[in-house]
Chains A and B, each alone.
Chain A
Amino acid sequence: MLLNGKEMHIDCEKSLSELLTDCGYQINTIAVLKNGEVVSKKEIYTLNVTDNDTIEVVSFVGGG
Protein backbone atom coordinates (compact mmCIF):
# COMPACT_ATOMS: atom_id res chain seq x y z
CA MET A 1 0.00 0.00 0.00
CA LEU A 2 0.99 3.63 -0.36
CA LEU A 3 0.77 6.04 2.56
CA ASN A 4 1.56 9.66 1.68
CA GLY A 5 3.51 8.46 -1.32
CA LYS A 6 5.64 5.95 0.62
CA GLU A 7 5.35 2.23 0.15
CA MET A 8 4.47 0.13 3.16
CA HIS A 9 3.03 -3.30 3.75
CA ILE A 10 0.33 -4.61 6.00
CA ASP A 11 -0.04 -8.37 6.43
CA CYS A 12 -3.80 -8.39 6.45
CA GLU A 13 -6.81 -6.12 6.28
CA LYS A 14 -6.97 -3.76 9.25
CA SER A 15 -9.07 -0.83 10.35
CA LEU A 16 -8.12 2.58 8.99
CA SER A 17 -8.15 4.14 12.45
CA GLU A 18 -5.76 1.46 13.73
CA LEU A 19 -3.42 2.03 10.78
CA LEU A 20 -3.39 5.77 11.41
CA THR A 21 -2.78 5.41 15.13
CA ASP A 22 -0.04 2.83 14.55
CA CYS A 23 1.66 5.31 12.19
CA GLY A 24 1.64 7.99 14.88
CA TYR A 25 -1.19 10.24 13.65
CA GLN A 26 -3.58 12.04 15.98
CA ILE A 27 -6.89 11.35 14.31
CA ASN A 28 -8.54 14.57 15.47
CA THR A 29 -5.96 16.64 13.57
CA ILE A 30 -6.04 14.86 10.20
CA ALA A 31 -8.23 14.11 7.20
CA VAL A 32 -7.85 11.17 4.84
CA LEU A 33 -8.16 10.24 1.19
CA LYS A 34 -8.57 6.54 0.47
CA ASN A 35 -7.96 5.67 -3.17
CA GLY A 36 -8.64 9.28 -4.09
CA GLU A 37 -11.91 9.60 -2.20
CA VAL A 38 -12.43 11.82 0.85
CA VAL A 39 -13.04 9.76 3.98
CA SER A 40 -15.50 11.29 6.46
CA LYS A 41 -14.62 11.59 10.15
CA LYS A 42 -17.09 8.78 10.89
CA GLU A 43 -15.71 6.55 8.15
CA ILE A 44 -12.20 6.76 9.61
CA TYR A 45 -13.54 4.48 12.35
CA THR A 46 -15.59 2.18 10.16
CA LEU A 47 -13.45 1.60 7.05
CA ASN A 48 -10.76 -1.02 6.64
CA VAL A 49 -7.63 -0.87 4.50
CA THR A 50 -5.79 -3.56 2.53
CA ASP A 51 -2.32 -3.77 1.09
CA ASN A 52 -3.66 -2.54 -2.27
CA ASP A 53 -4.93 0.81 -1.02
CA THR A 54 -3.50 4.29 -1.51
CA ILE A 55 -3.92 6.52 1.53
CA GLU A 56 -3.22 10.25 1.79
CA VAL A 57 -3.22 11.82 5.26
CA VAL A 58 -3.46 15.61 5.46
CA SER A 59 -3.63 18.32 8.06
CA PHE A 60 -3.78 22.12 8.18
CA VAL A 61 -0.56 24.09 7.83
CA GLY A 62 0.20 27.77 7.56
CA GLY A 63 -0.37 29.05 4.05
CA GLY A 64 -1.91 31.69 1.84
Chain B
Amino acid sequence: MIDRFIIGGHEFNSRFILGSGKFSLEMTKKVLENSGAEMATIAVRRADSGSSDNIINYIPKGITLLPNTSGARTAEEALKIAMLARELGCGNFVKVEVIRDTKYLLPDNYETIKATELLAKQGFIVMPYMYPDLGAARALVNAGASAIMPLGAPIGSNKGLVTKDFISMIIEEIDLPVIVDAGIGRPSQACEAMEMGCAAVMANTAIATAGDPATMASAFKAAIEAGRMAYLSGLGRVLKDRAEASSPLTGFLED
Protein backbone atom coordinates (compact mmCIF):
# COMPACT_ATOMS: atom_id res chain seq x y z
CA MET B 1 0.00 0.00 0.00
CA ILE B 2 1.39 3.43 -0.94
CA ASP B 3 2.01 5.75 2.02
CA ARG B 4 0.18 8.97 1.20
CA PHE B 5 0.01 12.25 3.11
CA ILE B 6 -3.11 14.17 2.23
CA ILE B 7 -4.53 17.31 3.85
CA GLY B 8 -7.73 18.86 2.58
CA GLY B 9 -7.51 16.93 -0.66
CA HIS B 10 -3.91 18.03 -1.36
CA GLU B 11 -1.15 15.45 -1.41
CA PHE B 12 2.36 16.11 -0.08
CA ASN B 13 5.51 14.03 -0.47
CA SER B 14 7.18 15.59 2.55
CA ARG B 15 5.92 15.19 6.11
CA PHE B 16 7.85 18.23 7.31
CA ILE B 17 6.23 21.65 7.60
CA LEU B 18 8.70 24.48 8.04
CA GLY B 19 7.98 27.51 10.20
CA SER B 20 9.58 30.42 8.35
CA GLY B 21 10.10 32.75 11.31
CA LYS B 22 13.52 33.74 12.68
CA PHE B 23 15.43 33.28 9.41
CA SER B 24 16.96 35.84 7.10
CA LEU B 25 15.35 35.81 3.67
CA GLU B 26 18.32 34.00 2.12
CA MET B 27 18.40 31.41 4.91
CA THR B 28 14.66 30.81 4.50
CA LYS B 29 15.33 29.65 0.94
CA LYS B 30 18.29 27.48 1.95
CA VAL B 31 16.49 25.84 4.86
CA LEU B 32 13.43 25.14 2.74
CA GLU B 33 15.58 23.47 0.09
CA ASN B 34 17.49 21.32 2.60
CA SER B 35 14.43 20.33 4.63
CA GLY B 36 12.48 19.08 1.63
CA ALA B 37 9.41 20.74 3.15
CA GLU B 38 6.53 21.30 0.73
CA MET B 39 4.60 23.53 3.09
CA ALA B 40 5.79 26.62 4.97
CA THR B 41 4.06 28.93 7.40
CA ILE B 42 4.10 32.69 6.98
CA ALA B 43 2.60 35.50 9.00
CA VAL B 44 0.63 38.64 8.16
CA ARG B 45 1.94 41.95 9.52
CA ARG B 46 1.87 45.69 8.81
CA ALA B 47 3.73 46.37 5.58
CA ASP B 48 6.72 48.63 5.45
CA SER B 49 6.32 50.90 2.45
CA GLY B 50 10.07 51.30 2.11
CA SER B 51 10.77 47.59 1.87
CA SER B 52 11.66 46.30 -1.56
CA ASP B 53 11.89 42.61 -0.72
CA ASN B 54 9.23 40.14 0.25
CA ILE B 55 9.46 36.68 1.77
CA ILE B 56 7.33 35.28 -1.03
CA ASN B 57 10.28 35.86 -3.39
CA TYR B 58 12.36 33.44 -1.27
CA ILE B 59 9.86 30.60 -1.08
CA PRO B 60 10.35 28.33 -4.12
CA LYS B 61 7.40 27.85 -6.46
CA GLY B 62 5.48 24.73 -5.64
CA ILE B 63 5.72 25.17 -1.86
CA THR B 64 2.25 25.43 -0.33
CA LEU B 65 1.89 28.58 1.73
CA LEU B 66 0.36 28.15 5.16
CA PRO B 67 -0.41 31.61 6.53
CA ASN B 68 -0.95 31.64 10.28
CA THR B 69 -3.32 33.85 12.21
CA SER B 70 -0.63 34.86 14.72
CA GLY B 71 -1.56 38.06 16.47
CA ALA B 72 -5.18 36.97 16.81
CA ARG B 73 -6.59 36.89 20.34
CA THR B 74 -10.12 35.94 19.31
CA ALA B 75 -11.83 33.89 16.63
CA GLU B 76 -13.02 37.07 14.90
CA GLU B 77 -9.46 38.43 14.71
CA ALA B 78 -8.29 35.08 13.30
CA LEU B 79 -10.97 35.27 10.62
CA LYS B 80 -9.90 38.80 9.66
CA ILE B 81 -6.23 37.81 9.38
CA ALA B 82 -7.13 34.75 7.29
CA MET B 83 -9.23 36.88 4.93
CA LEU B 84 -6.32 39.32 4.57
CA ALA B 85 -4.02 36.39 3.81
CA ARG B 86 -6.43 35.19 1.16
CA GLU B 87 -6.37 38.66 -0.47
CA LEU B 88 -2.57 38.49 -0.43
CA GLY B 89 -2.91 35.40 -2.58
CA CYS B 90 -1.87 32.22 -0.82
CA GLY B 91 -4.46 29.58 -1.61
CA ASN B 92 -6.89 28.25 0.92
CA PHE B 93 -4.72 26.76 3.64
CA VAL B 94 -4.68 28.52 6.99
CA LYS B 95 -3.11 27.65 10.33
CA VAL B 96 -5.31 28.90 13.13
CA GLU B 97 -3.23 30.38 15.92
CA VAL B 98 -5.24 32.15 18.62
CA ILE B 99 -3.17 33.07 21.67
CA ARG B 100 -4.15 35.29 24.60
CA ASP B 101 -1.41 34.17 27.00
CA THR B 102 1.71 36.26 26.47
CA LYS B 103 4.04 34.34 28.79
CA TYR B 104 3.62 30.72 27.73
CA LEU B 105 2.02 31.46 24.34
CA LEU B 106 -0.45 28.64 24.89
CA PRO B 107 -3.24 28.51 22.32
CA ASP B 108 -6.79 29.28 23.44
CA ASN B 109 -8.61 26.09 22.46
CA TYR B 110 -12.07 27.62 22.85
CA GLU B 111 -11.38 30.53 20.46
CA THR B 112 -9.50 28.13 18.17
CA ILE B 113 -12.58 25.92 17.83
CA LYS B 114 -14.74 28.97 17.06
CA ALA B 115 -12.21 30.24 14.51
CA THR B 116 -12.00 26.82 12.85
CA GLU B 117 -15.76 26.74 12.35
CA LEU B 118 -15.84 30.30 10.95
CA LEU B 119 -12.95 29.62 8.58
CA ALA B 120 -14.14 26.20 7.41
CA LYS B 121 -17.47 27.82 6.46
CA GLN B 122 -15.51 30.34 4.33
CA GLY B 123 -13.91 27.51 2.39
CA PHE B 124 -10.49 27.50 4.05
CA ILE B 125 -8.51 24.29 4.63
CA VAL B 126 -8.10 24.78 8.36
CA MET B 127 -5.14 23.46 10.37
CA PRO B 128 -5.67 24.53 13.99
CA TYR B 129 -2.78 24.82 16.45
CA MET B 130 -4.07 23.59 19.80
CA TYR B 131 -3.26 22.55 23.34
CA PRO B 132 -3.48 18.75 23.30
CA ASP B 133 -6.86 18.04 24.84
CA LEU B 134 -8.79 15.15 23.32
CA GLY B 135 -12.16 16.85 23.86
CA ALA B 136 -10.96 19.97 22.07
CA ALA B 137 -9.57 17.82 19.26
CA ARG B 138 -12.99 16.20 18.80
CA ALA B 139 -14.62 19.62 18.74
CA LEU B 140 -12.12 20.76 16.09
CA VAL B 141 -13.02 17.78 13.92
CA ASN B 142 -16.70 18.70 14.24
CA ALA B 143 -15.87 22.33 13.47
CA GLY B 144 -14.40 21.34 10.11
CA ALA B 145 -10.66 21.11 10.72
CA SER B 146 -8.56 19.32 8.08
CA ALA B 147 -5.78 18.41 10.52
CA ILE B 148 -5.06 18.72 14.23
CA MET B 149 -1.85 20.42 15.36
CA PRO B 150 -1.16 19.80 19.06
CA LEU B 151 1.83 21.47 20.70
CA GLY B 152 4.69 19.36 22.02
CA ALA B 153 5.96 22.12 24.32
CA PRO B 154 5.74 25.93 24.46
CA ILE B 155 6.57 27.78 21.23
CA GLY B 156 10.27 28.45 20.82
CA SER B 157 11.27 26.35 23.85
CA ASN B 158 12.98 23.41 22.09
CA LYS B 159 11.80 21.27 25.06
CA GLY B 160 10.50 18.40 22.94
CA LEU B 161 7.47 16.16 23.37
CA VAL B 162 6.46 17.31 26.86
CA THR B 163 2.81 16.55 26.03
CA LYS B 164 3.63 13.17 24.48
CA ASP B 165 0.98 11.12 26.29
CA PHE B 166 -1.78 13.55 25.33
CA ILE B 167 -0.62 13.66 21.73
CA SER B 168 -0.79 9.85 21.75
CA MET B 169 -4.43 9.98 22.83
CA ILE B 170 -5.26 12.30 19.95
CA ILE B 171 -3.44 10.07 17.44
CA GLU B 172 -5.35 7.07 18.78
CA GLU B 173 -8.82 8.60 18.75
CA ILE B 174 -8.87 11.17 15.91
CA ASP B 175 -9.00 10.25 12.24
CA LEU B 176 -7.51 13.47 10.88
CA PRO B 177 -3.76 13.95 10.29
CA VAL B 178 -2.13 14.85 13.63
CA ILE B 179 0.82 17.21 13.19
CA VAL B 180 2.99 18.12 16.18
CA ASP B 181 3.59 21.85 16.09
CA ALA B 182 5.71 23.83 18.61
CA GLY B 183 8.35 22.73 21.04
CA ILE B 184 10.23 20.14 18.99
CA GLY B 185 13.90 20.92 19.57
CA ARG B 186 15.93 18.20 17.91
CA PRO B 187 15.64 15.74 15.05
CA SER B 188 15.34 12.78 17.46
CA GLN B 189 12.17 14.34 18.88
CA ALA B 190 10.74 14.79 15.39
CA CYS B 191 11.63 11.16 14.70
CA GLU B 192 9.88 10.09 17.92
CA ALA B 193 6.76 12.04 16.98
CA MET B 194 6.66 10.21 13.66
CA GLU B 195 7.28 6.83 15.32
CA MET B 196 4.24 7.54 17.52
CA GLY B 197 2.08 7.93 14.44
CA CYS B 198 2.03 11.65 13.81
CA ALA B 199 1.25 12.41 10.18
CA ALA B 200 3.83 15.19 10.05
CA VAL B 201 5.96 17.51 12.14
CA MET B 202 6.30 21.26 12.13
CA ALA B 203 9.42 23.01 13.41
CA ASN B 204 11.04 26.43 13.29
CA THR B 205 13.11 27.36 16.37
CA ALA B 206 14.94 24.01 16.46
CA ILE B 207 16.43 24.88 13.09
CA ALA B 208 16.71 28.65 13.52
CA THR B 209 18.66 28.35 16.79
CA ALA B 210 20.87 25.47 15.63
CA GLY B 211 24.59 25.99 15.13
CA ASP B 212 24.17 25.48 11.38
CA PRO B 213 20.53 25.88 10.40
CA ALA B 214 21.06 24.66 6.84
CA THR B 215 22.57 21.38 8.09
CA MET B 216 19.95 21.03 10.83
CA ALA B 217 17.22 21.34 8.19
CA SER B 218 18.76 18.33 6.40
CA ALA B 219 18.92 16.46 9.72
CA PHE B 220 15.23 17.06 10.31
CA LYS B 221 14.42 15.79 6.83
CA ALA B 222 16.26 12.53 7.52
CA ALA B 223 14.76 12.14 11.01
CA ILE B 224 11.19 12.60 9.86
CA GLU B 225 11.65 10.11 7.02
CA ALA B 226 13.24 7.63 9.45
CA GLY B 227 10.44 8.02 11.98
CA ARG B 228 7.78 7.46 9.36
CA MET B 229 9.50 4.30 8.09
CA ALA B 230 9.76 3.01 11.66
CA TYR B 231 6.07 3.65 12.25
CA LEU B 232 5.10 1.85 9.03
CA SER B 233 7.32 -1.05 10.02
CA GLY B 234 5.85 -1.27 13.49
CA LEU B 235 8.20 -0.85 16.46
CA GLY B 236 9.67 -3.87 18.20
CA ARG B 237 8.14 -4.91 21.52
CA VAL B 238 9.50 -3.60 24.81
CA LEU B 239 10.32 -5.96 27.70
CA LYS B 240 9.50 -4.13 30.91
CA ASP B 241 10.92 -6.43 33.57
CA ARG B 242 13.37 -8.87 32.04
CA ALA B 243 15.94 -9.33 29.31
CA GLU B 244 15.99 -11.70 26.38
CA ALA B 245 19.31 -12.93 24.99
CA SER B 246 20.22 -11.78 21.51
CA SER B 247 22.75 -14.58 20.97
CA PRO B 248 21.91 -18.35 21.05
CA LEU B 249 21.78 -19.97 24.49
CA THR B 250 23.22 -23.26 23.26
CA GLY B 251 26.50 -24.29 21.76
CA PHE B 252 28.68 -22.49 24.28
CA LEU B 253 32.39 -23.35 24.25
CA GLU B 254 33.35 -25.72 27.09
CA ASP B 255 36.42 -25.05 29.19
What is the interface of chain A, defined by CB distance below 8 A to chain B?
4-5, 23-25, 29-33, 36, 38-41, 56-64
How would you classify the secondary structure of chain B's contact residues: helix, strand, loop or mixed? mixed
Which of B21-73 touch A at CB < 8 Å?
A: 21-23, 25, 28, 41-47, 49-50, 54-56, 65-68, 70
Tell me if B111 is interfacial: C-beta within 8 Å of chain A.
no
Which of under 10, 10 to 19, 20 to 34, or 35 or more describes the interface residues of B? 35 or more
B95 to chain A, nearest CB (A): 7
Cβ contacts under 8 Å, A41 to chain B: 87, 89
Q: Is the CB of A38 within 8 A of B84?
A: yes
Tell me if B90 is interfacial: C-beta within 8 Å of chain A.
yes
Tell me if B20 is interfacial: C-beta within 8 Å of chain A.
yes
- Contacts known (A25-B47, A64-B20, A64-B66); A30 close to B88, Cβ less than 8 A: yes
Report the nearest A residue to B56, measured CB to CB.
A60
Cβ contacts under 8 Å, B49 to chain A: 23-25, 57
Complex CA–CA separation, A58 to B80 (angstroms) = 12
Q: Is the CB of A29 within 8 A of B54?
A: yes
- Contacts known (A25-B49, A33-B80); A58 close to B44, Cβ less than 8 A: yes
What is the interface of chain B, defined by CB distance below 8 A to chain A?
19-23, 25, 28, 41-47, 49-50, 54-56, 65-68, 70, 80, 83-85, 87-90, 95, 97, 202, 204
Cβ contacts under 8 Å, B87 to chain A: 31-32, 38-41
Cβ contacts under 8 Å, B56 to chain A: 29, 60
B75 to chain A, nearest CB (A): 15
Q: Is the CB of B83 within 8 A of A61?
A: no
Cβ contacts under 8 Å, B46 to chain A: 4-5, 56-58
Cβ contacts under 8 Å, B68 to chain A: 63-64
